[in-house]
């Protein structure tokens, strides 16, 4: 078994960065913010360099396409981490194409987002705290993808959950943010329970938690990874207590793991936390809630693909849940008004696609979409962040419009990102989405159904993304330049307002001038003095890089076939049925669907009346509709009443149940018992304190009693034993 | 029989410690230049000596076990692990003492000499393979500690503590010595030459061959009396009553030292005795279980109502002695079948206990200022605002003492549970579980005081200025408590050689 010496540094570098940022205030005093803005992105980009080095130097020589590495310098991969009662878990890393691909996405895209965040968070007084969490997140995410056993993956899993929680509620002074953080954390608990149960089942069935072991008894090896005769044969050969592992047990394991994936990757029914998670700073949404953490469910499924391959029912469940999520997410995305919420629902929907791919056994296709999605969704989030930044914190698209002339560069990258996600021919999203749709079509049984719903979702995606573009950039300006309120978040409102005062006054003057010069002047010179301004270079450069990747990566990989070849060794081959249409026909249909969606958006929002207000449906009609809870618009606006239903069932009913538990069980029985016991313990304690007189003679007496106890005990036992 | 030089080689670490003690003693009293720099010289020379001794000990840790001095001393990996823990305790305690003594105007060289001599006694205790040697070693340790307890000569409490400790210690020593005599008398026929013996290896071999029927009941009486002596040193209920008074009265640095040192030394001795007497465990197993349960509950329940943190920690150390004893008795189950597991858990727990005890007393020292000790819960009020660092490390120690992950205390307790359940001592495990819940109350009360209460005018306000030694000790123990809780296998590997115990 080959070993990797470099891999640990991919994880350790961000970890050192985390330590540095955490103590930056103590080390650097007043220069802390500056140092942090160098170190935080630096370590992540360095880690990316290490990942590339591993890819170039170590992986090609790997036996059987995987390497095992240690996590702690100076130890080996077989150094145990926990050793207790027959269970041994090692500090081990697994480097294979899958984990390395994810490591490069996490550090590469993550590094770009770090650079972007140095610009975005520059004015926040708590910037070091932000980057402390951010680097910790990268560390945890890398442990998740590179960990060599389920327990390390679980550590990473919980770690990213914690960082997500901390970052969603980063601006904790606002109650909604803290609530959103709680929601994400609590909903994820449900999923994590599933993961934990799955892990325990794996332990009891396979007797280990490692993916690969030198003796060939790792979980994935037992499940068939690398077996020439196929996975099934391997599992049959492996038996627990004489009987082969039954499909039912494997299905249970897979469903438990999938429940974990549902929580982390925001699938129905555990998806409700993701839209609210947008309360965090935008780089957080881009990194954690679009590009990396939310895809960890797909990574986990792909990692366990050998297990899932044995459990067709679990795979079917994955596929249908994925499809449903894709569809529901897209429908809700049609009517949202908050720019980040549209993107959030789009993320939910795209994640659904990825699960659909896993469900039909096309793991490579799923990972391909993970990769391209990481590029264009990070781009879109960061772009929307640039929009929000330039709008001084405004997120409501109804109050935007006409931004194209102010922020041309941002518009350009957003435009490319939108066309990429919409599946416009030959852009990255086109290839990855088509790959999934085509494999769905060719999956045996229900292929046509999956395909048609998938296509409808694709059309909706193309529509709502262009709706976003129209509302933000093309329709008539919906705000008065110079009168934009400052809405930048911070936990230190006083400080922040003060910092902006000078800035704001300057703009107020500018707008006063503009009013005097009239509309034409505004058009001509408004740009120079406008309150709306392009973002700094630190924010724009990452956007350009991501834009290039969003445009070209998919096509490049598809043409060369490199992606598929790279991942082939780590996942089982897909079981194909004959697709009713050829691949080229699929491309044409996908292109037409995408162009249809884009075209509809164009037609709708270019109508003069609509372009004037930026609203397709007049506001009065909407108010009218919103009164009727069954109206389709209201239905979508309120996310299929999903939150309301959860509120009703889990919060209201749960609340009543909890109330019952509290008043009757807890206050009455438990509290009574505990308080009674506490009272007794306290009483005994007080009584026995009286024995502690302070007189040596009393202590000696107690000792004498002890002597008697010991003597009687020993001699009594002796006489009993002697008989 | 081995020669004299080989015999001496077996106790080199102890000899180094003793020589260091003499160097400090003579240097401090006879060399004027030394005397004027004693403040820095005494502790540093002591620490250097200890480090050399530990280095020597560690280089030999895996070496084959041997006996020396005609079998009176045994040098096996088990004793070497014990010596390692004892030595670490002494180093940390010296670090704790430096500024504290200065603040209390107790900066005398004898202090370090006494620490080193008591450590010498402790090292001989863990190496003793013969009961008379053991007795002498225990007394060497005790006499030095009596003096240390009364080291704050101007404080009434300190004097009282020393006197109580001495009187009761003498009382217990009588039982111990009488027990040794009885064991000697009862061991007729166990040794290969048929003569009575006080050599543990001979007793163990004889018992393993002959069993219960081969010895007279006098041996049982002797064993019970031996346990009386040990129970006093380990502060097991009902032999614990000196502990709170002495812990509270003694200077805090001495308390920290005493609490950790005595526990390590005496429990290694109990482990050795129990292992030797494992063939007749039917005689003592139940009784020691009763003592363990009494100690676990007694210590915890009494700690609940304490307002003085030092006193609370004293009772808590009684409770911890109960936990350790629970692991130790597993040695006797099925004639020593679970010995390795029990020794492993006990040594690991002693390691954890050392770190958290030294650490939590260390925080109290750290917060004390000139002329006023930080002692009561009141003194800790609002600490998180006044001194966040102190509050956070105290939090780590309280969590560790309470056995809450990811601290070392949690792992230690987990390992004890593991031993108890595997060896079929489930009732003991249940008692341990219930008592742990009680203990959370008073540990978290400290946290509550630190985090949620506002300081009042009786609170010790600010700490002494120069505190480098204490902060080093506190930071190291806190970091170790966390790191070894997260990666317990490191500590497990350190104590792993202890399972290699020489019994014949």
d(CA B273, CA B6): 25
Confidence of residue A169 (pLDDT cuts 50, 70, 90): confident
Confidence of residue B176 (pLDDT cuts 50, 70, 90): very high
Confidence of residue B124 (pLDDT cuts 50, 70, 90): very high
> Which segment of A48-62, A165-179, A685-699, B459-473 scores lowest on mean pLDDT?
B459-473
Looking at mean pLDDT, say which of A71-75, A563-567, B122-126, B471-475 comes out highest.
B122-126
- Chain A residues lying within 8 Å of B228, measured CB to CB: 703, 706-707, 710
Confidence of residue A188 (pLDDT cuts 50, 70, 90): confident
Mapped onto helix, strand or coil, the DSSP state of residue B67 is strand
**Over 50: is that where the pLDDT of A503 sits?**
no
**Over 60: is that where the pLDDT of A239 sits?**
no
* Chain A CB within 8 Å of residue B213 CB: yes
Question: Residue B281: its pLDDT value, please?
Answer: 87
Q: Which residue out of B224, B388, B412 would a mutagenesis test of the A interface target, given it has the greatest number of A Cβ atoms within 10 Å? A: B224
**Over 50: is that where the pLDDT of B278 sits?**
yes
**Over 50: is that where the pLDDT of B25 sits?**
yes
Q: With beta carbons less than 8 A apart as the criterion, state whether A418 and A380 touch.
A: yes
**Over 80: is that where the pLDDT of A226 sits?**
no
Within A121-246, residue ranges assigned H as helices are 127-146, 150-168, 175-206, 219-223, 231-237
- Chain B residues lying within 8 Å of A711, measured CB to CB: 221, 224-225
Confidence of residue A660 (pLDDT cuts 50, 70, 90): confident
Under an 8 A CB cutoff, do A81 and B284 touch? Answer: no
**Over 60: is that where the pLDDT of B232 sits?**
yes
Confidence of residue B433 (pLDDT cuts 50, 70, 90): very high
Give the residue with greater pLDDT, A112 vs A124.
A112
Tens of pLDDT along A613-656? 767 677 777 777 777 767 777 777 777 777 777 777 777 777 78
From A256's Cα to the closest Cα of chain B, the distance in A is 25
Tens of pLDDT along A242-270? 566 777 888 888 999 999 998 888 888 88
From B499's Cα to the closest Cα of chain A, the distance in A is 16
The mean of the pLDDT values for chain A is 80
Q: Is the C-alpha dihedral spanning B484, B485, B488, B493 positive or negative? A: positive
The mean of the pLDDT values for chain B is 89
d(CA A403, CA A388): 11
Average pLDDT over residues A517-540: 58
Under an 8 A CB cutoff, do A681 and B290 touch? Answer: no
Under an 8 A CB cutoff, do B438 and A681 touch? Answer: yes
Confidence of residue B334 (pLDDT cuts 50, 70, 90): confident
Mapped onto helix, strand or coil, the DSSP state of residue A558 is helix
Question: Residue A190: its pLDDT value, please?
Answer: 85
Question: Residue A507: its pLDDT value, please?
Answer: 43
**Over 90: is that where the pLDDT of B20 sits?**
yes
Average pLDDT over residues A286-314: 86
Name the residue among B303, B422, B487 with its Cβ closest to that of A81: B487
Secondary structure percentages of chain A, helix, strand, coil, to 5:
75, 5, 20
Q: A5-15: string of b/e by CB count within 10 Å (b at 16+)?
A: eebbbbbbbbb
**Over 90: is that where the pLDDT of B480 sits?**
yes
Question: Residue A24: its pLDDT value, please?
Answer: 81
- Chain B residues lying within 8 Å of A681, measured CB to CB: 301, 304, 438
**A671 CB-near residues (< 8 Å, 6+ apart):** none
Strand partners, B372: B369
Give the residue with greater pLDDT, B26 vs A505.
B26
- From the list A274, A258, A250, the residue with the least C-alpha distance to A333 is A274
Confidence of residue A362 (pLDDT cuts 50, 70, 90): confident
Q: B374-384: string of b/e by CB count within 10 Å (b at 16+)?
A: bbbbbbbbbbb
**Over 60: is that where the pLDDT of A515 sits?**
no
- Chain A residues lying within 8 Å of B238, measured CB to CB: 702-703, 705-706, 709
**Over 50: is that where the pLDDT of A582 sits?**
yes
* DSSP category for residue A92: E
Question: Residue A521: its pLDDT value, please?
Answer: 39
Contacts across the A-B interface (CB distance below 8 Å): 123
d(CA A274, CA A280): 11
Give the residue with greater pLDDT, A507 vs A461.
A461
Determine how β-strand A239-240 pairs with β-strand A243-244.
antiparallel
**Over 80: is that where the pLDDT of A659 sits?**
no
pTM of the model: 0.76
Give the residue with greater pLDDT, B422 vs A63.
B422
> Which segment of A104-113, A368-377, A676-685, B149-158 scores lowest on mean pLDDT?
A676-685
Question: Residue A210: its pLDDT value, please?
Answer: 85
- From the list B134, B222, B215, the residue with the least C-alpha distance to B175 is B222
d(CA B21, CA B46): 7
Work out the burial of residue A504: count CB atoms within 10 Å of its CB; fewer than 13 is exposed, 13-18 middle, 19 or more buried. middle
Question: Residue B253: its pLDDT value, please?
Answer: 92
Tens of pLDDT along A204-216? 888 788 888 877 7
Under an 8 A CB cutoff, do B305 and A682 touch? Answer: yes
Tens of pLDDT along A13-25? 999 999 888 888 7
Question: Residue A514: its pLDDT value, please?
Answer: 41
Average pLDDT over residues A169-175: 82
Q: Which residue out of A89, A684, A699, A700 would a mutagenesis test of the B interface target, given it has the greatest number of B Cβ atoms within 10 Å? A: A699
**Sheet of strand A92-95, all strands in order from the earlier edge strand to the far edge:** A2-4, A67-70, A92-95
Give the residue with greater pLDDT, A63 vs B263.
B263
Assigned token pair, A289: 């809630």
d(CA A65, CA A300): 18
Question: Residue A529: its pLDDT value, please?
Answer: 53
Question: Residue A35: its pLDDT value, please?
Answer: 84
> Which segment of A45-59, A162-176, A480-494, B200-214 scores lowest on mean pLDDT?
A480-494
Tens of pLDDT along B346-369? 999 999 999 999 999 999 888 887
Confidence of residue A526 (pLDDT cuts 50, 70, 90): very low
Element holding A109 (H helix, E strand)? helix A97-120
**Over 60: is that where the pLDDT of A174 sits?**
yes
Question: Residue B217: its pLDDT value, please?
Answer: 86
Integer-rounded Cα radius of gyration of chain A: 29
Assigned token pair, A538: 């630190």
**Over 60: is that where the pLDDT of A494 sits?**
no
- Chain A residues lying within 8 Å of B164, measured CB to CB: 696, 699
- From the list B276, B281, B283, the residue with the least C-alpha distance to B334 is B281
d(CA A248, CA A20): 49
Name the residue among A685, A688, A714 with its Cβ closest to that of B284: A714
Question: Residue A509: its pLDDT value, please?
Answer: 40
Confidence of residue A504 (pLDDT cuts 50, 70, 90): very low
d(CA B288, CA B491): 28
**Over 80: is that where the pLDDT of A672 sits?**
no
Under an 8 A CB cutoff, do B305 and A698 touch? Answer: no
Give the percent of chain A with pLDDT over 90. Answer: 9
Question: Residue A483: its pLDDT value, please?
Answer: 67
* DSSP category for residue B405: T
Tens of pLDDT along B155-172? 888 899 999 999 999 999
Tens of pLDDT along A675-701? 777 778 778 877 777 777 778 888 888
Question: Residue A85: its pLDDT value, please?
Answer: 67
Question: Residue B343: its pLDDT value, please?
Answer: 93
Give the percent of chain B with pLDDT over 90. Answer: 53
Mapped onto helix, strand or coil, the DSSP state of residue A535 is coil
Under an 8 A CB cutoff, do B487 and A91 touch? Answer: yes
Confidence of residue A491 (pLDDT cuts 50, 70, 90): low
**Over 80: is that where the pLDDT of B486 sits?**
yes
* Chain A CB within 8 Å of residue B291 CB: yes
* DSSP category for residue B71: T
d(CA A209, CA A81): 13
Tens of pLDDT along A423-456? 888 888 888 888 888 888 887 778 788 888 888 8
Confidence of residue B246 (pLDDT cuts 50, 70, 90): very high
**Over 80: is that where the pLDDT of B451 sits?**
yes
């Amino acid at each position: 078994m080959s070993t990797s010496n470099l891999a640990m540094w991919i994880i350790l570098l961000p970890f050192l960065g985390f330590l540095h940022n955490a103590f930056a205030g103590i080390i650097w005093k007043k220069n802390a913010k500056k140092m942090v803005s160098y170190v935080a992105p630096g370590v992540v980009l360095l880690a990316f360099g290490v990942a590339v080095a591993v890819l170039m130097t170590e992986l090609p020589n790997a036996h059987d396409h995987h390497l095992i590495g240690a996590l702690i310098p100076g130890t080996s991969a077989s150094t145990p981490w926990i050793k207790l009662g027959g269970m041994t878990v090692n500090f081990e890393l697994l480097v294979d194409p899958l984990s390395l691909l994810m490591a490069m996405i996490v550090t590469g895209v993550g590094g770009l987002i770090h650079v972007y965040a140095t610009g975005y968070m520059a004015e926040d007084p708590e910037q070091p705290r932000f980057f402390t969490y951010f680097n910790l997140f990268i560390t945890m995410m890398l442990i998740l993808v590179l960990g060599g056993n389920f327990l390390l993956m679980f550590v990473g899993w919980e770690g990213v959950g914690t960082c997500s929680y901390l970052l969603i509620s980063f601006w904790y002074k606002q109650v909604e943010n803290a609530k959103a953080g709680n929601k994400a954390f609590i909903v994820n608990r449900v999923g994590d329970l599933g993961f934990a149960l799955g892990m325990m089942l794996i332990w009891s069935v396979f007797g280990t938690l490692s993916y690969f072991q030198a003796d060939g008894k790792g979980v994935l090896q037992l499940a068939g990874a690398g077996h020439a005769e196929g996975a099934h044969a391997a599992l049959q050969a492996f038996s627990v207590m004489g009987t082969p592992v039954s499909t039912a047990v494997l299905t249970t394991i897979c469903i438990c793991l999938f429940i974990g994936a549902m929580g982390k990757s925001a699938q129905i029914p555990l998806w409700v936390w993701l839209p609210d998670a947008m309360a965090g700073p935008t780089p957080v949404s881009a990194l954690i809630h679009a590009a990396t953490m939310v895809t960890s469910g797909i990574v986990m499924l792909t990692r366990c693909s050998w297990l899932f391959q044995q459990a067709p029912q679990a795979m079917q469940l994955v596929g249908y849940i994925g499809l449903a999520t894709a569809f529901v997410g897209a429908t809700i995305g049609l009517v949202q008004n908050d720019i980040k919420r549209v993107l959030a629902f789009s993320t939910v929907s795209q994640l659904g696609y990825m699960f659909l791919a896993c469900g039909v056994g096309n793991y490579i296709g799923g990972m391909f979409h993970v990769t391209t999605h990481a590029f264009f969704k990070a781009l879109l989030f960061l772009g929307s962040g640039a929009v929000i930044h330039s709008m001084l914190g405004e997120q409501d698209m109804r109050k935007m419009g006409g931004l194209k002339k102010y922020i041309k560069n941002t518009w350009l990258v957003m435009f490319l990102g939108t066309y990429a996600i919409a599946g416009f021919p030959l852009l990255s999203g086109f290839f990855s989405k088509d790959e999934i749709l085509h494999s769905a079509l060719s999956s045996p049984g229900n292929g046509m159904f999956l395909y048609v719903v998938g296509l409808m979702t694709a059309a909706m995606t193309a529509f709502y993304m262009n709706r976003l573009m129209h509302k933000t950039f093309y329709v008539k300006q919906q705000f008065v330049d110079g009168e934009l309120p400052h809405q930048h978040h911070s936990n230190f409102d006083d400080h922040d307002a003060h910092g902006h005062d000078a800035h704001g006054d300057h703009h107020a003057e500018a707008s006063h001038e503009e009013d005097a010069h009239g509309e034409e002047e505004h058009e001509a010179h408004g740009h120079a003095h406008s309150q709306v301004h392009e973002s700094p270079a630190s924010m724009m450069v990452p956007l350009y890089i991501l834009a290039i990747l969003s445009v070209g990566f998919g096509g490049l990989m598809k043409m060369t076939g490199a992606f598929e070849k790279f991942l082939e060794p780590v996942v089982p081959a897909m079981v194909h049925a004959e697709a009713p249409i050829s691949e080229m026909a699929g491309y044409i249909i996908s292109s037409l669907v995408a162009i249809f969606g884009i075209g509809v958006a164009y037609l709708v929002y270019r109508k003069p009346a609509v372009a004037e207000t930026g609203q397709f449906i007049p506001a009065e009609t909407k108010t009218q509709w919103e009164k009727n809870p069954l109206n389709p618009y209201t239905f979508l606006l309120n996310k299929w009443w999903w939150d309301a239903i959860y509120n009703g069932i889990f919060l209201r009913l749960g609340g009543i149940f909890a109330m019952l538990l509290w008043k009757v069980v807890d206050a009455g029985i438990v509290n009574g018992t505990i308080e009674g016991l506490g009272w007794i313990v306290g009483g005994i304690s007080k009584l026995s304190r009286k024995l502690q007189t302070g007189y040596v003679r009393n202590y000696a007496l107690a000792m004498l009693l002890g002597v008697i106890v010991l003597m009687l005990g020993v001699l009594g036992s002796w006489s009993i034993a002697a008989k | 029989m081995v020669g004299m030089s080989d015999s001496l080689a077996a106790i080199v670490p102890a000899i180094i410690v003793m020589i260091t003690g003499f160097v400090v003693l003579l240097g401090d009293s006879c060399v004027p230049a030394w005397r004027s720099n004693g403040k820095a010289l005494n502790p540093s020379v002591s620490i250097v000596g200890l480090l050399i001794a530990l280095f020597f000990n560690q280089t030999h840790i895996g070496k084959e076990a041997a006996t020396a001095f005609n079998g009176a001393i045994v040098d096996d990996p088990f004793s070497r692990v014990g010596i390692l823990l004892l030595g670490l305790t002494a180093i940390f305690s010296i670090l704790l003492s430096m500024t504290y003594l200065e603040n209390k105007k107790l900066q005398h060289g004898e202090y370090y000499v006494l620490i080193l001599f008591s450590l010498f006694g402790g090292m001989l205790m863990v190496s003793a393979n013969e009961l008379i040697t053991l007795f002498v070693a225990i007394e060497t340790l005790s006499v030095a500690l009596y003096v240390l307890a009364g080291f704050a000569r101007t404080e009434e409490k300190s004097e009282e503590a020393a006197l109580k400790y001495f009187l009761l210690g003498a009382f217990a020593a009588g039982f111990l010595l009488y027990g040794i005599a009885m064991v000697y008398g009862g061991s007729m026929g166990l040794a290969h030459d048929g003569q009575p013996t006080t050599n543990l290896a001979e007793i163990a071999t004889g018992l393993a061959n002959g069993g219960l029927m081969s010895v007279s009941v006098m041996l049982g009486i002797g064993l019970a009396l031996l346990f009386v002596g040990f129970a006093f040193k380990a502060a097991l209920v009902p032999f614990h009553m000196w502990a709170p008074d002495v812990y509270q009265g003694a200077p805090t640095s001495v308390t920290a030292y005493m609490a950790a040192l005595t526990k390590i030394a005496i429990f290694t001795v109990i482990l050795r005795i129990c292992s030797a007497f494992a063939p007749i465990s039917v005689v003592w197993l139940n009784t020691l279980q009763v003592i363990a349960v009494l100690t676990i509950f007694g210590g915890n329940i009494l700690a609940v109502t304490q307002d003085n943190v030092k006193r609370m920690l004293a009772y808590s150390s009684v409770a911890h002695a109960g936990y350790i004893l629970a692991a130790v008795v597993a040695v006797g189950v099925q004639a020593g079948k679970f010995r390795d597991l029990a020794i492993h858990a006990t040594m690991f727990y002693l390691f954890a206990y050392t770190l958290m005890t030294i650490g939590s007393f260390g925080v109290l020292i750290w917060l004390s200022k000139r002329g006023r000790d930080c002692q009561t819960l009141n003194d800790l009020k609002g600490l998180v605002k006044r001194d966040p660092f102190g509050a956070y490390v105290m939090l780590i120690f309280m969590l560790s003492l309470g056995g809450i992950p990811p601290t070392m205390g949690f792992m230690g307790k987990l390992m004890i549970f593991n031993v108890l359940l595997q060896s079929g001592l489930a009732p003991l495990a249940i008692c341990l579980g219930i008592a742990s819940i009680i203990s959370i109350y008073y540990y978290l009360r400290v946290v509550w005081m630190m985090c949620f209460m506002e300081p009042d005018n009786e609170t010790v306000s600010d700490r002494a200025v120069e505190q480098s030694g204490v902060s080093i000790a506190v930071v190291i123990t806190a970091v170790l408590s966390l790191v070894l809780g997260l990666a317990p296998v490191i500590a497990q590997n350190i104590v792993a050689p202890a399972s290699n115990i020489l019994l014949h």
